[in-house]
Amino acid sequence: MSGTDFLPKITIPDIFARKKEGRRISMITAYDYPSAQVADDAGIDIILVGDSLGMVVLGYENTLKVTMEEMIHHTKAAARGRKRALLIGDMPYLSYHTSVEDAVRNAGRFVQEGGAEGVKVEGGRKRVRVIRAILDAEIPVMGHIGLTPQSIHMMGGYKVQGRIFEKAEELVRDAKILEEEGVFSIVLEGIPDELSRIISSELKIPTIGIGAGRYCDGQVLVFHDLLGFNSCYLPKFVRKYANLNDEVKSSIRRFISDVQSGDFPSDNESYSLPRDVAEKLLMKYGVTAAD
């Protein structure tokens, strides 16, 4: 039994109400049963099955290669691991870009097949028709503006957005438009601290930041980044709360050494036959009894 077993299930209205209550929101990405389970047990508010799994789990160079089938597969696994946290599925590239009908169908798959309780959609005003249709299908939507990884080719890479006055104004307008359409929260990624402060103060719905400074109503980090579970470059906004990469490698090296020396497994880690059966078998096959 975990420490969160007696806490109430977190719902969309709960997250929506957090801003008014002045309670900050914690969100983490998780991509499978064990990571979702441990995050849920720790008391996280929202688990996002992010398309970032393409990079940190599947080894793609970016998120653009992630498919709906891969997202549904991982969302199902995460859903089995969480009990209390709100579970959101990340709409991958081309799952909502081709038509409104495709968008609603794919969002529905996250809920019906994956067990998600809402979906995240990247983009501002250009996604209004899609977001409106998904909401009309009774599926909650989390917005996402600023640095949107599915648009990296248009943006010229992973660059901080909104540093020019006109672009900053566009992001403020996009956030207001998404709120008007009915999203329950908005992820602000890769934007300056001052801009996220303005957007957060202008909205009644919560903002959740990643590389967007201190003034958002919540924060999100990637599971593997937070735990130091990789050895690649990490952006400046990532705070590593552990260094599991080194710890795991050290543990595996000790295992290799113990196997090679014969120290593993020990008697306590092995099963034994009843004494009389062992003696008969050893005698029959001419095997010398171990010391």
Secondary structure (DSSP) of 25-64? EEEEE--SHHHHHHHHHHT-SEEEE-TTHHHHTS--SSST
For 256, which DSSP code? H
Q: How many CB atoms lie within 10 A of CB 233?
A: 6
189 in active site: yes
**Nearest residue to 220 via CA among 190, 193, 242, 195:** 190
C-alpha 195/C-alpha 288 separation (Å) is 76
Query: Which of 181, 189, 269, 279 is flagged as catalytic?
Result: 189
- Cis check: omega of the bond before 265, within 30 degrees of 0: yes
The secondary structure of the chain in percent helix, strand, coil, rounded to multiples of 5, reads: 45, 15, 40
Any bridge partners for residue 185, and if so which?
142
- Active site positions, annotated: 189
